Structure 1
Amino acid sequence: MTSTSRGIDVSAYQASQDWTALKSGGLTFAFAKASEGQTSRDGRFATHIKGIKAAGLVPGAYHFAWPNQDASREAANYIAAVKAYAGPGFLHWLDLEAYSDGRNYRGRTAAQIKAYASAWIAAVQKAFPGQRVGIYTSASDIAAGHVPSGVPLWYPAYPGSRVDTFAEAEAVSKPAPSGRAVTIWQFTSTPAKGPRVDSNLAYLAPAALRAWAKGEDTDPGSDYTPPAFPSGLAPGKSKPSAVTLQRALKKGKYMAASVAESPHYGPKTEAAVAAFHNAHPQYRAKGTTHDVAIGPKGWAALFRLAYGK
């Protein structure tokens, strides 16, 4: 079985699609633009998302961000646009990119843009518990520090004619902008052949993508980097296993004992790490409002609280 899945994304710029035929042709997922800013909605969102869901594709929606507006109002606009269609297996994305003239970023610092993204994600996660929320963003936004840690990344980068088809995208190395892990790569927006739609490659096999979209801890699905400690329990210099972290979270009562252990860091582990940070905010990464990635200082504190050492 292939280790990738194929998908496209659409907006009001694209006409209605034959989603059943696209699925038969090898598509696994499709995303549609739902909203933009504080009040704007995409005029073809309902048509697109109904077709995507009816065809049995992994569905998702995205919101085009205006970080120089109010994050809570923008999240409310998106939530209202998608609430009739969102459910288990539905993916949510914040499209964090500047207009060519910078008008949606104007007057905001990198820290403010990051805080906006964190607030939008937190609001959407609260509205749709257990559903995945990620960020679509560029290499320049990542390098500028606009992107919170611990979120799935949908990454646009266009190599040109040498990578113009799904087969060509599957044959090249997975991108890693600024060392961040990429869940989905948008590799072209103007393919030489076929319809003029954005083509995307997810780095999960179709069955794994469906499980991941439903919130199962089947794959990291984010740029989370585990803290440094050895194969034992005490912090040290070698990388940990996710299971060791999960056992410490359970021991510290931040994760339910009934949660199945997994070799991957997924939403259940993220929720437990967030619970630890909420209980002990001094170990939360500076400037974040919902930190789901644990660093060496936080891990050392968790180890002491869980095992008394």
Structure 2
Amino acid sequence: MTSTSRGIDVSAYQPAQDWAAHKRSGLAFAFAKASEGQISRDPKFAAHVKGIKAAGLVAGAYHFAWPNQDAAKEAANYIATVKPYAGAGFLHWLDLEAYSDRRNYRGRTAEQIRAYAVAWIVAAQKAFPGQRVGIYTSADDIAHGHVPAGATLWYPAYPGSRVDTFAEAEAAARPTPSGRKPLIWQFTSTPASGPRVDSNLCYMSASALRTWAKGDAAEDDKPHAYTPPAFPEGLAPGKAKPSAVTLQRALKQGGFMAKSVPESPNYGPKTQAGVIAFHNAHPQYRAAGKSKDPAIGPKGWAALHRLAYDK
């Protein structure tokens, strides 16, 4: 049986919380809305996050996305809001969901929405090196390709009164939208008892979540299944194929990987995320269906090398 832990998330819609009582009741984590769009900030964020941290819960914040606005400006809004409170063990989330009238998605294609998400995540990772950054998003967004491959998922799906307590969520099957396994399931906003808050189940024990939340700076030091392709001689600059370190340096030089990521001989998730960001930044690779591809081919490597060094 999968170990789990319990949590809630809040915004300006919730009053001040007794966070110490929440912890005594068995909660392990809590997230608060920090910002929305390019300039809006949640007026209760500071009070919420201070209480969460003071109670010793795993703390996090989220930004409500407007993919039809500028990703860099939205990330800057979030970063400035959260920076006084973020630190080791703090979790960051992009809330990627459409308003009911889709006004925040209007005029954007699936590829553009995904590119926005990649850009926002890269900016947040750069601002908070070693801290975890994930996406809160719906089954519809996942199915329509709005979510970058490999992103940590916080997933909302409400079964209704059939699952409106933590015990019922723990007994239910883990959701698998489009075959993906979310780390966190937000299963109700109307719990059977207690205050009206969003209730969440994390598929890690409280201790494992706390350890995981401490950061991923060493993630690329762990072996992973992905192996880069063998490149024919002459198609890649300098050598037949790039080593992981060579590729990481080019990704950093090109702005697709945070310079704070340690060099590693393994093609871990940060390296793969950098390759995905590179593919998403170039229309020819998106058109070729490579916008989710963590593997860089010989032509892609040559293009990345030119972009990074031939300036």
TM-score range, shorter chain: 0.7 to 0.9
Alpha-carbon offset, residue 50 of structure 1:
0.1
Q: Deviations over 1:91-128 (max 9, x none)?
A: 00010111111111111111111111111111111111
TM-score, L = length of structure 2: 0.76
Task: State how far apart, in whole Å, the 2-side matches of 1:2 and 1:24 are.
Answer: 22
Aligned with 2:32: secondary structure? strand
Contact 2:132 2:216 in 1 (8 A): no
Aligned twin of 1:197: 197
User: 1:12: Cα distance to partner?
Assistant: 0.3
Counterpart residue number, 1:45:
45
**Is the contact between residue 35 and residue 81 of structure 1 (CA under 8 Å) also seen in structure 2?**
yes
Name the counterpart of 2:208. Answer: 208
Contact 2:29 2:59 in 1 (8 A): yes
The question of whether the paired residues in 2 share the 8 Å contact of 1:158 and 1:187 is answered with: yes
Q: Distance in 2 between matches of 1:226 and 1:294?
A: 12
Aligned to 2:4: 4
Q: Deviations over 1:129-178 (max 9, x none)?
A: 11111100000011111111111000000011111111110111111100
Listed as ranges, the gaps of 5+ residues in structure 1 are 236-247, 262-267, 302-309
Summarize the Cα distance change of 1:190–1:139 in structure 2 as closer, same or farther, 3 Å threshold: same
Q: Is the Cα contact below 8 Å between 2:93 and 2:134 reproduced in 1?
A: yes
With over 3 angstroms needed to count, the CA separation of the structure-2 counterparts of 1:275 and 1:185, relative to structure 1, is closer
| Equivalent in the alignment of 2:131 | 131
Aligned pairs (5 A) from 1:97-108: 97-108=97-108
Note the aligned Cα RMSD (angstroms): 3.5
Report the equivalent of 2:269: 270
Residue number in structure 2 paired with 1:56: 56
Kindly report which structure 2 residues correspond to 1:41-190, keeping only aligned pairs within 5 A, or say none.
41-190=41-190
CA–CA distance in 2 between the matches of 1:124 and 1:278?
A: 14
Conserved 8 A contact 1:226-1:294: no
1:216-255 alignment to 2 at 5 Å?
Answer: 216=216, 226-227=225-226, 249=244
SS in 2 for 1:31: strand
What percentage of residue pairs aligned between the two structures are identical? Answer: 65
Question: What SS is found at the alignment partner of 1:115?
Answer: helix
Residue by residue, what CA displacement relative to the aligned partner does 1:48-78 show, whole Å, maximum 9, x if unpaired?
A: 0000000000000000011111111111100
Aligned to 1:242: none
Q: Structure 2 CA distance, aligned partners of 1:24 and 1:275?
A: 41
- Relative distance call for 1:281 and 1:122 in structure 2 (3 A) is closer
Give SS of 2:86's match: coil
The answer for unaligned runs of 5 or more in structure 2 is: 231-242, 250-261, 302-311
Checking the alignment, whether the CA contact within 8 Å between 1:5 and 1:203 is kept in structure 2 is yes
The letter of the residue matching 1:270 is P
AA matched with 1:28: A
1:273 positional shift? 3.9
User: Is this contact kept in 2: 1:208–1:218, CA < 8 A?
Assistant: no
